[in-house]
A and B are shown apart, each in its own frame.
Chain A
Amino acid sequence: MTATTAPVRPPLPAPAQPRRSALPFVRWFKNPWRKPRILETVTWVYLTWSLLPVALAVAFSFNSGKSRSVWQGFSLRWYITDPNLSVLHDASLHIALVHTLLLGVVTTAVAVPLGVTFALGLDRWHGRLPGFWNIQMLLSFVVPEIVLGVSLYFLASQFPFNTPMTTGTTGQVIGLVTFQMSYPVIIVRARLLTIGKQFEEAATDLGASRVGALRRVLLPMLFPAIFASAVLVFADVIDDFVIVKYLSSGSDTDSVAVKIYDTARGAPTPALNALASLLLAASIGAILIGYFGYRFLTRGEGKTSLGSFAGQL
């Protein structure tokens, strides 16, 4: 052992005291454990900004006068009582509402089963080919809607053979299914990934056939995801504008969104607000059914994620 001289340590510099500002705001701001008041304010301002205009639009649908910015008293004039202009009596308005809901229901009924079987097939079919079709599916999901809408419009108007794909309700449903199919595919595939294969394998080991295991074991486990994607597709379809507009064959196949687009810049009456409010009510109804249905289906699984209804995967 050689004697080592311990290095002489220079004394540590005194930790720099943060200068205390005289201004209360700066003092508050520099406090590392303060409450995040600024972020909180931003959030509430944002929420007000995003929801108040819509709330006002709904409020003015109950206006008794023609104005959409001066309150003249409460009435149901634009919903029921006006003999010509109310949603009840103006055929073009309530036809749009019924047509929108029809498109929502039919598209959901076609797109969801199609998407679910497609998801199962893509997930279990191995090789290069399913990879290619998966890419096409994802592409149809991210491509701007105008690309899909215009190309489907060309298919309906320029294709030399007679097909069911013509402008009108059928064409609109086909177009919407094309655009919406990827929702259930993506959601169901994400769910398949978390479920894993063990339950199905256990079932087949115990003697179930492949299809039996799928029907009796996997499908019940997938049901919440399928249900959530159905709610999502419905909500998205009743909002859809681009595809419905391009494949519309006239005013009797216009949706609420198309109606708003066509008349908002003209001289609309609050009946347009009333129409939009009714669609909003339908949306809220769907989400309430969706939310409580989903809670019921996933009971015992812990937390219910609201995000499932907004395409959050």
Chain B
Amino acid sequence: MAAGSRRSRWVWPAFALPGVVWLALLFLLPLYIVLCLAFGTLDPVFRSPVPVWNPLQWDFSQSKYVLTHLVGENGVFGAAIWRTAVFVVVASVGCLAIAYPVAYFVTRFGGRRKGLLLALLIAPFWISYMMRMLAWVNLLQTDGLVNRALSLGGLFPVHVDWLNGRSSTVVFGLVYGYVPYMILPLYAGLDRIDQSLIEAARDLGASRLSTFRKVTLPMSKAAVIASLLLVSLPMVGDYFTNDLLSGSPSTAMFGNLINNAVLDPGQVGQGATFLILMFIVLLPAMAYYVRSTRREEGETV
């Protein structure tokens, strides 16, 4: 190969260039604009946001307002963030409790029906998230099929208002919405485990449970962590599930805080601060994901 010829040295950077420019202009620049708005000012007359482009002139009054109103006596924002943490943890664990057994069954015992089972597991991935939520809005209406089923066909009339500010409905919706995204990476991780190791453990006398505990579980740890991340990161930013299944401020999440603030011109600066806050909170998890992906790619980290 004509190594080191002047032309070929620039071939690969040239290939990467469009992507690099795209990311710089449409990923990094917008994030910088978020900073300029969070540390910008507010037009006193029109109550519209005024971004400050020079970092040396950044104004911290809006972000200070947000930070001082998180907890304590003025703590109006803290509740939603705390609620988000609880919702996301409960829903992620719920997802894992469903996804692990299902993924495990399909990898180990799928047998001849593996193709069919996989197709059915992938199906929700192909159905619009909003449509799946719409399906539950239909079912959970006060005169919906869930209440009618609970009333045993009209014997004991049930009028539970499922869609009005119930935390349980929101968590249920999150689990329903995000489980499919967890099953697939888990399936991939479990499928990679050498079946002969499991058979060896069983042949040497380990019970089902101890084989699972000592062989399968440790070997699937990386997949479990990755799938938990893949599900919980988008859940933290989710606001539409809550809007559709509850619509009440009593179950508002971090995402609702951002969405509501951003759509109100007077609160854009606060919304931008929330966004930065979310980014910082999630940074360790995102960094972990990036690191493990890069390790898989065989790059030096």
Interface readout for A124-154 with B: 1 if CB under 8 Å, 0 if not?
1100011101111111101111111011111
Pair B259/A121 contact, Cβ less than 8 Å: no
Pair B179/A276 contact, Cβ less than 8 Å: no
Which residue of B23, B126, B176, B275 contacts A283 across the interface (Cβ within 8 Å)? B126
Given contacts A69-B145, A135-B290, A158-B33, contact A260 B134 (CB under 8 A): yes
- Distance in Å: Cβ of B63 to nearest Cβ of chain A: 15
Which stretch from A48-56, A81-89, A292-300 is at the chain B interface?
Answer: A48-56
Range for the number of chain A residues in contact with chain B: 35 or more
| B155: interface (CB < 8 Å) | no
Residues on B with C-beta less than 8 A from A170 are none
- Distance in Å: Cβ of A141 to nearest Cβ of chain B: 9
Pair B187/A307 contact, Cβ less than 8 Å: yes
Residues on B with C-beta less than 8 A from A131 are 299
Interface readout for A17-47 with B: 1 if CB under 8 Å, 0 if not?
0000000000000001000100110110011
Pair B139/A145 contact, Cβ less than 8 Å: no
Given contacts A133-B20, A280-B128, contact A150 B106 (CB under 8 A): no
Which stretch from B54-62, B64-72, B73-81, B116-124 is at the chain A interface?
Answer: B116-124
Main DSSP-derived SS at the B contact region:
helix
Given contacts A114-B22, A117-B18, contact A46 B98 (CB under 8 A): yes
| A287: interface (CB < 8 Å) | yes
Interface readout for A159-182 with B: 1 if CB under 8 Å, 0 if not?
110000100000000110110010
CA distance A311 to B183 in the complex (A): 12
| A310: interface (CB < 8 Å) | yes
Pair A54/B135 contact, Cβ less than 8 Å: yes
Given contacts A144-B236, A241-B130, A283-B126, contact A189 B297 (CB under 8 A): yes
CA distance A264 to B99 in the complex (A): 28
Which residue of B27, B37, B298 contacts A178 across the interface (Cβ within 8 Å)? B27
Residues on A with C-beta less than 8 A from B130 are 239, 241, 256-257, 260-261, 264, 276
Given contacts A138-B294, A310-B184, A312-B185, contact A121 B14 (CB under 8 A): yes
Pair A151/B126 contact, Cβ less than 8 Å: no
CA distance A49 to B102 in the complex (A): 13
Main DSSP-derived SS at the A contact region:
helix
Pair B258/A150 contact, Cβ less than 8 Å: yes
Pair A151/B31 contact, Cβ less than 8 Å: yes
Pair B134/A272 contact, Cβ less than 8 Å: yes
Which residue of B179, B187, B236 contacts A50 across the interface (Cβ within 8 Å)? B179
Pair A151/B8 contact, Cβ less than 8 Å: no
| A265: interface (CB < 8 Å) | yes
Given contacts A154-B37, A264-B244, A312-B185, contact A53 B132 (CB under 8 A): yes
Residues on B with C-beta less than 8 A from A150 are 34, 258, 262, 271-272, 275
CA distance A242 to B30 in the complex (A): 16
Residues on B with C-beta less than 8 A from A228 are none
- Distance in Å: Cβ of B193 to nearest Cβ of chain A: 16
Pair B16/A118 contact, Cβ less than 8 Å: yes
Given contacts A46-B98, A54-B135, A151-B33, contact A143 B16 (CB under 8 A): no
CA distance A221 to B185 in the complex (A): 25
Other A-B pairs beyond A39-B109, A189-B297, A210-B11, 12, CB < 8 Å: A40-B105, A42-B105, A56-B139, A57-B135, A121-B15, A121-B19, A124-B15, A146-B278, A148-B27, A158-B51, A273-B134, A311-B125
A–B complex contacts, Cβ < 8 Å, 26 sampled: A32-B207, A36-B105, A42-B101, A43-B102, A50-B124, A51-B123, A56-B135, A57-B131, A117-B18, A122-B19, A125-B13, A133-B23, A135-B290, A146-B239, A151-B34, A158-B37, A178-B23, A178-B26, A186-B293, A210-B8, A235-B125, A239-B129, A261-B244, A283-B128, A312-B185, A312-B188
Interface residues of A (CB under 8 A from B): 32, 36, 39-40, 42-43, 46-47, 49-51, 53-54, 56-57, 60, 68-70, 114-115, 117-118, 120-125, 129-131, 133-140, 142-148, 150-155, 158-160, 165, 174-175, 177-178, 181, 185-186, 189-190, 193, 201, 204-205, 210-211, 235, 238-239, 241-242, 256-257, 260-261, 264-265, 272-273, 276, 279-280, 283-284, 287, 306-307, 309-313
